[in-house]
Amino acid sequence: MHQISELSQFSIEEITKVEGAAGLNVFLESGRVKKVEFAIKEFKRFYTHAMEGKPIAAIPQLLARICGTCSNAHLVASIEAVEKTLGIVPSEQTMILRTLTYHGLIIRDHALHLYLFCLPDIFGKDSLLGFDESDPVEHQLLHDAFAVKASGNHLAIAVAGRSVHAPLPMPGGFAKIPDKKAVAEVILELENIRPAVLRLIRVFTDDPSSLVRESNSAALRNSKFSYLEGDLWDMHGFVVDEAGYRDHLEHVVLPYSQASAYTFDGETYRVGALARLNINASGLHPRTKHDAEEALRLFPSNNIFHNNLAQAIEILHSVDESIDLLKQKMFVPEPLQKLVPKSGVGVGLVEAPRGALYHKLEVNEKGIVERGEVVVPTGQNQIAIELDLIQFINNHLDMEEEDMKLECEKIIRAYDPCMSCGAHFLELKVSRDGKPLKKIIPKKKRTTSKKTSHHHPA
């Protein structure tokens, strides 16, 4: 075994427990890390070009295929962009059904990340299947994993038709409403898995893992905790509406990566569950705030491992709000609003499981898409991931090689990256490079948006 400081090169050929594959190159000079290249190596799939020339009605289901795990996030963002382009205002029932569809996504997707990808690290296992059935704690968590994840699937199926690539949500409404029997079954299932979610929150509250680096955050903020509605806030209290978000993002070309990176008004920033709780924890469901009170005292936080805890809290919020909505609302058939072709520009901005997701459409008078853009969370987090790795490696140059590999994986896993959306991880190479380093984090003066506020979010 070797310490990192003694090596000229080391690599991780394959990493498990993330969505996709990528590479990491670390350059050292005079015993210090000077540059990290987190390279998403999946080939670009050109969805933004594929949408050109397509009728606007076809875009949501096309863009949902960007990702197999968070497809419903792309679906909803794209539907919103279509509606904004054509001037369609969804009904109250449609927004409730979309919210429930989204809660199913959050529960399922966060459960996949926390139980299958992160818990093995905490318990020193290679995978969840290595948990000891004779150990009461591990036995319980193993069964919790499948129960919680299944509840998210069943919620999405009942409301949206499928848990991935849902067929029922459409621009202007839903093709079908959930039946009463399915609703009753989902309510019971959500109530039954709630204690499991509280156990999960306890596990990540007690997790001592820590990497603290000061960073800005960006997330939607509303009077209630919403993944679908609100303005975009950062940690300085700066506010921009959905349509103006892209104006504050600077595209950073990384020649070593197939994915794009971004800065927010010249600053690196984080998006995702940690950002959402940093900015909008006060809007969480009252029952969630009561039962997760101890965990919520840790926010706002700059510890990237608290992104895992934030996801666990978000599962509880999605369970609690879904129970309320399903119990209180009576769903009735509604006709789909017609899509009348016209020229226009529309933006859909939602909070995907991994952070702010932006879809933009430019459409001609025949309803044909001329241009489009998609900005995904993993690309927005890319530079922050690199800076976290630089800090950690520089502070642990005496660490043994295999331990360093594992810790780098844990840091990247904490962001819950989805390289399928970004353009998959981890082949890690370290070499010494005496050449001058290029600055990859541009700085620019903050510009003024249409809506601003100087108050820090509560």
- Give the residue carrying structure tokens 């844990």: 410
Under 8 Å between Cβ of 194 and 326:
no
- How far, rounded to the nearest angstrom, does the alpha carbon of residue 353 sit from its chain's CA centroid? 3
pLDDT score recorded for residue 35: 84
Q: What mean pLDDT value characterizes the chain?
A: 87
Distances in whole angstroms, Cα of residue 326 to Cα of each of 180, 184, 251, 421: 10, 8, 41, 31
Residue 387 has pLDDT above 60, yes or no: yes
167-202 b/e with 16+ CB inside 10 Å = b?
A: ebbbbbbbeebbeeeebeebbebbeebbebbeebbe
Per-residue pLDDT tens for 59-77? 999 999 888 788 999 999 9
SS3 122: helix
Rounded to 5 degrees, what are φ and ψ at 352? -65, 165
Provide the sign of the torsion angle of the four alpha carbons 161, 165, 169, 175, taken in this order: negative
Under 8 Å between Cβ of 264 and 392:
no
pLDDT tier for residue 45 given thresholds of 50, 70 and 90: low
Per-residue pLDDT tens for 273-321? 999 999 999 999 999 999 999 999 999 999 999 999 999 999 999 999 9
Residues 6+ apart with CB under 8 A from 206: none
- What number is the average pLDDT over the span 363-392? 94
pLDDT score recorded for residue 3: 63
pLDDT score recorded for residue 426: 46
Per-residue pLDDT tens for 176-230? 999 999 999 999 999 999 999 999 999 999 999 999 999 999 999 999 999 999 9
DSSP characters for 76-121? HHHHHHHHHHHT----HHHHHHHHHHHHHHHHHHHHIIIIIIIHHH
Q: How far apart are the first and last CA of the chain?
A: 48
pLDDT tier for residue 437 given thresholds of 50, 70 and 90: very low
pLDDT tier for residue 342 given thresholds of 50, 70 and 90: very high
- Give the residue carrying structure tokens 């999405």: 156
pLDDT score recorded for residue 368: 97
Which segment of 58-62, 331-335, 406-410 scores lowest on mean pLDDT? Answer: 406-410
Strand partners, 39: 23
Distances in whole angstroms, Cα of residue 230 to Cα of each of 6, 86, 242, 340: 50, 20, 8, 26
Q: From CA 289, how far away is CA 282, in angstroms rounded?
A: 8
- What number is the average pLDDT over the span 104-130? 94
Rounded to 5 degrees, what are φ and ψ at 455? -95, 130
pLDDT tier for residue 458 given thresholds of 50, 70 and 90: very low
